[in-house]
Structure 1
Amino acid sequence: RSGQTVSVLIYGITKTNKAFCAKKRQQSYLRIGRCANSDPETFATLMNRMTRSFHALKTYPEQTLRIPLVCCNYYRFKESVMKHVEKICPNDQDYVEQLLDGYVNDVVNLICGDYTADSDKCDSIITDTPEWKKSLTYKSFVIPLAQVVESI
Structure 2
Amino acid sequence: MKLSKQVASILTFALKNAFKHLCKKGSKRAFELISATPCVNQANAEITKCYTSLVDIIQGIKYAEENKRIPHLCCEYYTLFPCLYERTKRFTKCTTKKMDIASDFVRNIFENIISLLCGDYTDQSDKCQTLGINV
TM-score, normalised by the number of residues in structure 2: 0.82
Q: Alignment partner of 2:125: what SS? A: coil
Q: Which runs of 5+ in 2 are unaligned?
A: none
Q: Alignment partner of 2:27: what SS? A: helix
Counterpart pick for 2:83 among 80, 84, 94: 80
The letter of the residue matching 2:41 is N
Pair 85,24 (structure 1): closer, same or farther in 2 beyond 3 Å: farther
Deviations 1:99-146 (A, max 9, x none): 122110000111001101111111222449xxxxxxxxxxxxxxxxxx
Provide the C-alpha distance between the structure 1 equivalents of 2:103 and 2:44, rounded to a whole number of angstroms: 17
Q: Which residue of 1 aligns with 2:10?
A: 8
TM-score, normalised by the number of residues in structure 1: 0.74
Pair 86,21 (structure 1): closer, same or farther in 2 beyond 3 Å: farther
Whether the 8 Å contact between 1:29 and 1:95 is mirrored in structure 2 is yes
Q: Which runs of 5+ in 1 are unaligned?
A: 129-152
Q: Alignment partner of 2:71: what SS? A: helix
Q: Which residue of 2 aligns with 1:124?
A: 130
Deviations 1:9-52 (A, max 9, x none): 22212212222333222211212322211111111110001111
Pair 119,127 (structure 1): closer, same or farther in 2 beyond 3 Å: closer
How much does 1:90 deviate? 2.0
2:46 aligned with 1:42, yes or no? yes
Deviations 1:77-117 (A, max 9, x none): 12222344555322313312321221100001110011011
Q: Which residue of 2 aligns with 1:94?
A: 100
Q: Which protein, 1 or 2, shows the higher relative CO under an 8 Å CA cutoff with sep ≥ 6?
A: 1
Provide the C-alpha distance between the structure 2 equivalents of 1:40 and 1:65, rounded to a whole number of angstroms: 32
Provide the C-alpha distance between the structure 1 equivalents of 2:57 and 2:116, rounded to a whole number of angstroms: 20
| Identity across the alignment (%) | 22
State the number of aligned residues: 127
The letter of the residue matching 1:100 is V
RMSD between aligned alpha carbons? 2.0
How much does 1:59 deviate? 3.0
Whether the 8 Å contact between 1:16 and 1:103 is mirrored in structure 2 is yes
Counterpart pick for 1:56 among 47, 53, 60: 60
